[in-house]
């Protein structure tokens, strides 16, 4: 069975390591915060100006001055700090943040990512995504393997305007965990009950498939 969004978030959460500062993008990436493995401590950075982002507030305790980059009301954990946008992106560009998780419309086999614009149809802007992908050492993309029309989003080359070039290391979809290296996708894990054949069929880019592909442990 293909994973749902929660499943994708749970699998990505397994990548977290103790002591990391992590930036989570809007959508599925935000859910990763709910599944931090036991026994490790991570701090979440939100690029609008907080380190130490906590959970959503209880009803009635929302503070309009305290939001995340998705403009949702949040709380601050003990030990949190606030800062301005230039300082925030100094953390990001300066590679002080160890992991960035973000969504994508398309990813290519050389690690290009597109997620900010569909010409003539949708222009929302890149927000902080271009700064994040250009600077982060460790980028994981959370996305669905195919679009609503059933076309693969895991491509030889992106067709949409790029957000960044050669930057994505790992992709987690509802079907698989893929690593990008040497210009190809490498199949690391498959979702429980999903066949290698299905993943091959739904991947347009070059895919290296080892003899044994383990199931994700969620």
Partner 1 sequence: MNKVVNDPAAALDGIQDGMTLMVGGFGLCGIPENSIAQLVKMGTKNLTCISNNAGVDDFGLGLLLQAKQVKKMISSYVGENDEFERQMLSGELEVDLIPQGSLAERCRAGGAGIPAFFTPAGFGTEVAEGKEVRIFNGKPHILESALTADYAIVKAWKGDTEGNLIYKATARNFNPMMAMAGKITIAEVEELVPAGSLDPNQIHTPGIFVQRIFQGEKFEKRIEQRTVRSKQ
Catalytic annotation, residues: 47
Considering the complex, what minimum distance in angstroms separates the CB of residue 43 from partner 1?
A: 15
Considering the complex, what minimum distance in angstroms separates the CB of residue 142 from partner 1?
A: 19
CB neighbourhood size of 120 (10 A): 6
Cβ proximity of 203 and 152 under 8 Å: yes
Task: Kindly tell me which of 24 and 69 has the beta carbon lying closer to partner 1.
Answer: 69
Question: Footprint of partner 1 on this chain (CB under 8 A)?
Answer: 46-50, 55-74, 76, 82-86, 88-89, 92-93, 112, 117, 120, 123-131, 134-135, 161-166
Task: Kindly tell me which of 90 and 200 has the beta carbon lying closer to partner 1.
Answer: 90
Task: Kindly tell me which of 116 and 146 has the beta carbon lying closer to partner 1.
Answer: 116
Of 146, 134, 137, 136, nearest in space to 175 by CA: 146
Distances (CA, A) of 17 to 28, 42, 167: 19, 7, 20
Considering the complex, what minimum distance in angstroms separates the CB of residue 90 from partner 1?
A: 8
Task: Kindly tell me which of 161 and 213 has the beta carbon lying closer to partner 1.
Answer: 161
Long-range contacts of 64-69 (CB under 8 A, 24+ apart): 68/30, 69/25, 69/26, 69/127, 69/128
Considering the complex, what minimum distance in angstroms separates the CB of residue 50 from partner 1?
A: 5
Tokens at 81, concatenated:
């700090």
């Amino acid at each position: 069975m293909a994973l749902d969004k929660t499943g994708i978030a749970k699998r990505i959460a397994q990548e977290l390591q103790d002591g990391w500062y992590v930036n989570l993008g809007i959508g599925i990436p935000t859910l990763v915060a709910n599944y931090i493995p036991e026994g490790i401590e991570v701090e979440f950075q939100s690029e609008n100006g907080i380190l130490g982002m906590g959970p959503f507030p209880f009803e009635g305790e929302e503070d309009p001055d305290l939001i995340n980059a998705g403009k949702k009301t949040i709380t601050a954990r003990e030990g949190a700090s606030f800062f301005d946008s230039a300082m925030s992106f100094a953390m990001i560009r300066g590679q002080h943040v160890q992991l960035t998780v973000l969504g994508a419309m398309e990813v290519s086999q050389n690690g290009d990512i597109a997620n900010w614009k569909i010409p003539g149809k949708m222009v929302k802007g890149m927000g902080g995504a271009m700064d994040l992908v250009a600077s982060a050492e460790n980028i994981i993309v959370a996305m669905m393997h195919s679009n609503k029309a059933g076309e693969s989003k895991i491509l030889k080359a992106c067709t949409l305007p790029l957000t960044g070039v050669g930057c994505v290391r790992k992709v987690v979809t509802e079907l698989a965990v893929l690593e990008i290296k040497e210009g190809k996708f490498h199949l690391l894990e498959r979702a429980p009950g999903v066949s290698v054949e299905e993943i091959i069929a739904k991947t347009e880019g070059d895919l290296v498939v080892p003899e044994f592909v383990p199931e994700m442990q969620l």
